[in-house]
Amino acid sequence: MTAIRVVLVDDQHLVRTGLRALLDRASDIEVVGEAGDGGAGLSVVREQRPDVVLMDVRMPGGDGLEATRRILADPRLTGVRVVMLTTFDDDEYLFEAIRAGAAGFLLKDTPPDALREAVRVVAGGDALLSPAVTRRVLTAAAHSPVTDPARLAGLTARERDVLAQVGAGRSNTEIGQVLFLSPDTARTYVSRLLQKLNARDRSQLVVIAYESGLVRPGEQ
């Protein structure tokens, strides 16, 4: 089995060392590069073309948000998925990162097993959206104007219901429980929403749900 290739970008050497040590314990994950700021991180990502990048949000030598935008806009890096490393103090930056196409966000105090599983989830094509952190991010973005509710015009009532649940940060299993659907049916609806709304992944569905007014902070 081919190992999941990971690049670490964080300005704190101790953080990178700790992340590397934790990830290297997994036989299916390989750290192939690291950098101390966004600019250097972009260079390493272009050189290594990893499956997953763990990117700090704020770094003095070049911030992770701009590096994320550039990675996700580069056609040569199609398939590279970025997860933002954060503390709860970075909410506003995280919302912008999700809008830019980041696959999700991970708290720096995430337990080791959860960290490794998060890398696997993102490498597998899913988004990393903890309900608690999603709600915090959307609440912090409350000043952002609601835009283009007409974007949902082509959705059925059930698809809107599912999108609202995705916007609340719920998993397919949780969506099924709330809407009385099987997890497989919920997954089918989410796949259909990705297609209809031309969304890169589940994290962008959260943004669409919020910006279209379908979900508002405090309603999750």
Enumerate domains of the chain plus CATH numbers. Answer: 4-128 (3.40.50.2300), 149-211 (1.10.10.10)
Q: Look at residue 32 in the predicted model and tell me its pLDDT.
A: 97
CA distance 146 to 95: 14
pLDDT above 90 as % of the chain: 48
**Whether residue 177 has pLDDT greater than 80:** yes
Q: 201 and 125 in contact (C-beta within 8 Å)?
A: yes
Q: Look at residue 134 in the predicted model and tell me its pLDDT.
A: 64
Of the listed ranges 99-108, 137-146, 152-161, 202-211, the one predicted with least confidence: 137-146
Predicted TM-score (pTM) of this structure: 0.76
Residue recorded with tokens 């659907």: 181
Q: 102 and 68 in contact (C-beta within 8 Å)?
A: yes
User: What number is the average pLDDT over the span 33-44?
Assistant: 94
